Amino acid sequence: MRYRMASAIAAIAMAFALSGCSNTNTAQDSKTPPVASAPPGQENVEAKITELEKEWAAAIEKKDVDTIDRLLAPEFAGTSPTAHTFMKIDAINDLKKGAYDVEKMTLDEISVNVFGNTAVSFTSQEEKSKYDGKDISGHYHFTDVWVKRDGKWQAVASHGSRYEGLTANEKK
């Protein structure tokens, strides 16, 4: 387990070390207008990562392991809201075997910070789900690290926490 955590920390540190120094921040939720388009020929990274976060949530709901395989980097390491560490293969196997069963996952906030070829996204989500048959439905916050390699973005790390306060929509 220490090896997995050390690997995740090393992956994050390496991603930041290899990234550029530009930093932008965008908040996205159901009330926020879409991110403005990037100039022609330039990728709008905030919009792209927001799209990938939504695609990841949809793939979990649909148990679409091909999409999960594409979105997660080979060295992906995650920490669940229960402090369980897992690798890419674990995430895929949990979906294949039905251990992680999500009936509904709704992202209600997404913000993205960009550092060259690295992006850090912060998401808030409500989900109706079970793990190993136990109801784990609730509200969660995730911090995901994305790295762009060979022209495509992949998640290299994710950390989740259960949130017991009001959701963004409940505050309004």
Q: What pLDDT sits at residue 33?
A: 40
Work out the average pLDDT over 67-77: 98
How do residues 138-156 score in pLDDT, each as one tens digit? Answer: 999 999 999 999 999 999 9
Residue 16 pLDDT level (bands cut at 50, 70, 90):
very low
Give the model's pLDDT for residue 4: 39
pTM of the model: 0.75
At which residue do the structure tokens 């994050």 appear? 12
The pLDDT tens digits of the residues spanning 95-138 come to 999 999 999 999 999 999 999 999 999 999 999 999 999 999 99
DSSP symbols for 83-137 = S-EEEHHHHHHHHHHTSEEEEEEEEEEEEEEEETTEEEEEEEEEEEEEETTEE--
Domain 2-30+43-171 has CATH 3.40.50.720: no
Confidence of residue 172 (pLDDT cuts 50, 70, 90): low
113: left (phi over 0), alpha (psi -120 to 50) or beta: beta
Identify the CA nearest to 139 among candidates 161, 112, 119, 115: 161
The structural domains of the chain, with segments of one domain joined by +, span 2-30+43-171
Mean pLDDT of the residues in the chain:
82
Nearest Cα residue to 71 out of 81, 56, 83, 93:
56
Residue 84 reports pLDDT greater than 70: yes
d(CA 105, CA 58) in angstroms, rounded, equals 8
Taking phi first (over 0 means left), then psi (-120 to 50 degrees means alpha), and beta for anything else, what does residue 116 get? left
